Structure 1
Amino acid sequence: MLQLHDHDGSHYLTYPPPERYSAEVGPEALEQALRERGGARPLALHVHLPFCRQACRFCASQRVPSRDSRQAEPYLSRLDREMVLVSRLLSESPPVERLHWGGGAPAFLSLDQMGDLFDRLDARFGLSGARGRDFSIEIDPREADVFTLRHLQALGFNRLSLGVQEFDLRVQRAVNRVQPRVLTESLVDEAERLGFRSLNLDLIVGLPLQTPRGFGDTLEQVIAMAPAHITLHRYAHLPQRYRPQQEIRVEELPDAATRLAILGEARGRLQAAGYVHIGLGHFARRDDSLALALSEGRLARDLQGYTSHPPGDQLGLGVAAISRVGATLTRNARQLEEYEAALDASRLPVAGGLRPGPEQRLRAAAMEALACRRELDLTALSREYGCNAGVLLADDLQRLAPFCEAGLLERQGERLRLTPDGAWGLTRLLAAFDPGADPTP
């Protein structure tokens, strides 16, 4: 069973995944989707800020290494140009209640640059000041201090995600991310003092020199900080795709048995500490909004992960950012030069996209049902999409049969339910609805 857990589900945040987008679906597709969207439909914003000062060897993000925040100025100017082009296509919308800054390391920007970017977003789209808003930002503790958090809180951010990865010094050195625990602790303490509503700490399983005991010690230290969320990511070694990973020594990577032992240790410690397994490596305290949304059947997902907010459209801004507007999926140019060239020509920087067909939308809905509600009602799905879901998904359901036999799924007629063990193997179950993927361990 533990073999089911050794898999990363981030590529199923949207289906079909971005790797299958076509260059034939370009800027015109996003323009049309933006013009046609209903004005009352919620719009979430994701801003991709690719800069960082220090290259972590495990990095799989689209990043721009730099030492000087002034080098971000041309990018911020292009980002504003993208906002202008997009905002012209939007009808009047309610204030934006969901905003996320990711990267890279958004705290690479100076405080003035952060303030200016926030003001421009407000001017172009109208940011909500409501108490229930979710304005989140990813923070590398090496790039931030208490003054950074105070500035972010003053701007309106109320959610933080801190990248811990590992506290074991041997592992930190192996991935070029030496980060004393005191850096993280000081930010956690300040975030609590400032009243940030939610704090997430990210960890990575599968890094070089990692051991079950060492990771267990890291997890105990993280649990002692009592964050609302803890996220376990799986390291995927793809040096041919991500250049920083070429510096990782393959012989230092933990083997499959060690990774599984680390995950087993993590499962036991998190359950003992009272964290609820939301799914796909996400854990939350029982009093957190995600845990409550799961128990009340209103959990949802967007391109950043799980959310307690109703699903809506999501607009990605910046290099390599992904948008989902209506049924249209698009991704911006992945290379900075291509992104800049498009905006300099006053074009949206979309490099590819997809308009999912009826069967793809049906499969995506089936995945969302399992990922968010832990059950799939084929009768309800048929009614919603005006089809016989059991017939159209017959091959997919057949691929799920071994998981039913293993006790990861329970099927009663037209209804399938995840068991607690099945929630740990959720990515493999979702892969059953992805033709061409191999869902078996």
Structure 2
Amino acid sequence: MVQALEWDSQLIHRYAVNGPRYTSYPTAVEFTAPFSEVDYLNAAKQSKQLNTPLSLYFHIPFCANICYYCACNKVVTKQRSQAVSYIKNLIREMHFHAEYFGQREVTQLHWGGGTPTYLSLELMQQLMEKTNDYFQLVDDASADYSIEIDPREADWATMGHLRQLGFNRISLGIQDFNPVVQQAVNRVQTEEETLAVIDAARTLSFKSVNVDLIYGLPHQNTQSFLTSLDKVLELAPNRLSIFNYAHLPERFKPQRRISEKDLPSPAEKLSILKHTIEHLIDAGYVYIGMDHFALPDDELTEAKVTGQLHRNFQGYTTHKACDLLGLGCSAISQVGDTYWQNHSKLDNYSQQVNQNTFPFQRGFVLSTEDSLRREVISQLICHFELNTQQIEQQFGIDFNRHFAYELDALQLMAEDGLLTISEDNLTVNPKGQLLIRNICMVFDQYLTRNNETTRFSKVI
């Protein structure tokens, strides 16, 4: 059974620090340059021998307009011809990987951005056809092929085309339906545009619709956000992601166009989150973890219940056994015990690919200790529970001795009721689920060693 989380305002205020989201461990800030082709080849060869399924991620960085809150790697341009050369480079990069990954079954595929629907229908067709040429795309109900949709850049024809290409899941950015908020963040998107895309998805038998909302944007308050949430719930999405807006104008220039005086206070942000969680649970949604909610019959919920939930750079997923191959500028790959990331700047990425070299910018090869701690953090953040005996058997350690320092640090959290420590288990309690990042941070050697959390967002 999935336990209902519990809101404890006093604890939330006490533990409101900055920390990683743990889409990987070690986190991407620890990736080092240079990352060599030898490192890649070692990982690719080991992966090829194991013949594990493959998850493909394609980063499409282009946007026609800028959203002031956005911290994604993007290229804002009206010159859509740039996408033509970029797709050629994506295809060329696929060719580089084909020797090692080409014969593997692809059970998961995702186009993210930027705005993937920025591409013309012809470019979408070309990219998917070439993907099918280089990789073995699974063509059955088990495949999860998803794409991020901007309703301002999609219509019924677009949706029909995506369905024909094999996409069966969509994710929509709404952020907020309030027109005052939309104007303040330069994301004017009508309810009619959003409804049209969701109607198309349902009519065309897409099996899942995810909706993204952001709290903490200018001019939001608890009541206004719940009004938007009610409109979203009328659309009955299968999944919802409720993200906390992190205002970091010193790092992300577009955010400088947002006036800090228009942002809700920290207390109001917490009120928005608290009432949103209550609202979603009352509406029948299940808290998956880390901002994510899903309907009871959704595959994420089923994976949560059965212990099959996994987390990677795209968030929570049911495809635990997959290697993740990222293509395009800034895309991150996770193959076995190796991570690598492509150049984040479009010019550098394009230059490397056109020189017939892998466009790596940096990477990381995990040690045995890294792999151990990654498994501990993954179990906690996905299942809110850790079987310490299982970890001992898997890694050949004495858990209490190996993690004596960490267990001592967890005692205060246990006294606060965040988790229960028993002989064979660490179990996150309902009031600790919203603070799962704090619990995971205890096992993060790099965070402790570098004593730097300012590069991360608030845990809540």
Moved more, 26-35 or 310-319: 26-35
Please say if residues 146 and 186 of structure 1, whose CA atoms lie closer than 8 Å, have aligned partners that are also in contact.
yes
User: Aligned-pair distance for 1:257?
Assistant: 0.4
Q: Which amino acid aligns with 2:185?
A: V
Question: Hey, what's the Cα distance between the residues in 1 that align with 2:37 and 2:223?
Answer: 50
| Larger displacement relative to structure 2 (132-141 or 404-413) | 404-413
Contact 1:59 1:244 in 2 (8 A): yes
Residue 103 of structure 2: which of 89, 92, 103 is its match?
92
After superposition, give the CA deviation of every residue in 1:43-65 in whole Å (9 maximum; x if it has no partner).
11000000010100001011011
Task: Measure, in 1, the Cα distance between the counterparts of 2:193 and 2:111.
Answer: 21
Amino acid at match of 1:19: V
Q: What is the distance in 2 between the residues matched to 1:80 and 1:393?
A: 45
- 5 Å matches for 1:42-53? 42-53=53-64
Residue by residue over 1:343-391, the C-alpha shift from the partner in whole angstroms, topping out at 9 and shown as x without a partner, is: 1111110100111112221111111111222211111101101112322
User: CA distance change for structure 1 residues 380 and 224 in 2, over 3 Å: closer, same or farther?
Assistant: same
Q: 2:143 aligns with which of 123, 127, 133?
A: 133
Pair 1:66 & 2:97 matched: no
Distance in structure 1 (CA, Å) of the matches to 2:45 and 2:166: 29
Give the Cα separation in 2 of the matches to 1:146 and 1:50.
Answer: 23
Does the 8 A contact of 2:59 with 2:111 survive in 1? yes
CA contact (8 A) 1:35 1:90 kept: no
Question: How many Å apart are 1:122 and its aligned residue?
Answer: 0.6
1:440/1:394 CA distance change after superposition, 3 Å: farther
**Aligned equivalents of 2:430 and 2:153: distance in 1?**
38
CA distance in 1, matches of 2:161, 2:101: 30
Partner of 2:4: none
Identity rate of aligned residues, in percent?
A: 37
Match of 2:100, SS?
Answer: coil
> Does the alignment pair 1:274 with 2:284?
yes
Instruction: Verify: 1:105 aligned to 2:110, yes or no.
Output: no
Distance 1:390 1:440 in 2: 27
Of 342, 346, 361, the match for 2:352: 342
Deviations 1:24-49 (A, max 9, x none): 32333123211221252111100000
Matched residue count: 440
CA contact (8 A) 1:300 1:307 kept: yes
Structure 1 stretches of 4+ with a deviation exceeding 6 A read 4-10, 438-441
Q: How far is 1:185 from its partner?
A: 1.1
Cα gap change, 1:366 to 1:285, in 2 (>3 Å): same
SS at match of 1:264: helix
Letter in 2 for 1:31: L
Q: Which among 344, 350, 365 is matched to residue 355 of structure 1?
A: 365
Q: Aligned to 1:389, which of 396, 399, 404?
A: 399
Unaligned runs of 5+ in 2: 1-7
Q: Which runs of 5+ in 1 are unaligned?
A: none
CA distance in 1: counterparts of 2:406 and 2:70, whole angstroms: 33
* Mapping for residues 3-402 of structure 1, pairs under 5 Å: 3=12, 11-37=21-47, 38-90=49-101, 92-93=103-104, 95-402=105-412
Deviation at 1:131, TM superposition (A): 1.4
Amino acid at match of 2:264: P
Root-mean-square deviation (Å) = 1.8
Moved more, 212-221 or 409-418: 409-418
In 2, Cα distance between equivalents of 1:52 and 1:399: 45
Q: What is the TM-score when the length of structure 1 is the normalising length? A: 0.96
TM-score in terms of structure 2 length: 0.92
Amino acid in the other structure paired with 1:103: G
